[in-house]
Amino acid sequence: MSTSMSSATTGEQHRNVEVMTVRDGRVTETQVYFGGNFPQG
């Protein structure tokens, strides 16, 4: 799983998450979730 966070010039923060399934050393599936507002704290 990989999570990234970005900030807009307005100060809003957003997060994206990628979940990868690996079988026999190969990536067989990738799911990407584009998040909304990221709460402070």
> Residue 4 corresponds to which amino acid?
S
Q: Considering the chain, what percentage of its residues have pLDDT values greater than 90? A: 32
Q: What is the mean pLDDT of the chain?
A: 83
Mean pLDDT to the nearest integer, 32-37: 74
Q: Which amino acid does the sequence have at 34?
A: F
Q: DSSP for 8-29?
A: -TTS-EEEEEEEEEEETTEEEE
pLDDT value of residue 13: 85
pTM for this model (two decimals): 0.58
pLDDT of residue 37: 54
Q: Please name every residue paired with 7 in a beta bridge, in sequence order, or none if there are none.
A: 13
Contacts of 27 (CB under 8 A, 6+ apart): 20, 21
